[in-house]
Amino acid sequence: MNGIKKDVKMSREAILKAVKKNKPEVLPLPEIDESAFQEDIDVVKTFKDNLALVGGQVFEITTDAIDAKIKEQYPNKSTIVATTTKSNLGNVEIDKNTDPHTLEHIDLAIVEGELGVSENGAIWITANNSLVRALPFITNDLVIILDKRNICLHMLEAYDNIAKRDRDFGVFISGPSKTADIEQCLVVGAHGAMSLTVLLV
């Protein structure tokens, strides 16, 4: 062991001090010309078109028609979680303490979205919307109810809106789960819901 320098264990404080000392210079965020975006578009129509482009389906309906439309689209679903009071179809109760591993048998999840994004058909879902973070991904099929007044033009506007939230889990969902990483062949439902239906109310 003579002549070999022993490794010196650094304390947590020493590591943090070294990181702070070697932090890169803070650079200003780039300026984005928002005037480049087309402001006079029909955000609802564009949202619907873009969501369809990524494999989702959208229906504009009234609130009292929600359950009828879900039954029409998913007539054979037997294990359903609904985390919204806008649907009475849920027959599996969950709460924030539910173990996600117990949800592997869920056929259909019905949740509310907080806002939509016209430019890419994405919908912002939070922990409050889904109760269990894994729910939108572990379910076989997913229904999101969205107030069409909450569709914004682009992601910049969406980020401005969600910046005001309490810091908690949130995710943008656009269309059903899909990947083309496997031999360049598009696979739907690879790591999430097989289908996404958005009900605009």
What's the pLDDT tens digit per position in 83-108? 999 999 999 999 999 999 999 899 99
| pTM greater than the 0.85 cutoff | no
Rounded Cα gap, residues 180 and 134, in angstroms: 22
Greater confidence (29 vs 190) lies with 29
Q: How many CA atoms lie within 13 A of 174 on its CB side?
A: 18
Q: What mean pLDDT is reported for the chain?
A: 87
Please enumerate in sequence order all residues whose Cβ is within 8 A of that of 133, keeping only pairs 6 or more positions apart, or say none.
100, 127, 169
- pLDDT of 51 reads 93
- CB contact at 8 A, 54 and 174: yes
Q: Locate tokens 């389906």: which residue? A: 57
Instruction: Write the pLDDT tens digit of every residue in 15-39.
Output: 888 888 888 888 888 888 777 776 7
Q: For residue range 54-83, what is the model confidence (pLDDT) as tens digits?
A: 889 999 999 999 999 999 999 999 999 999
Task: Tell me the average pLDDT across 177-196.
Answer: 76
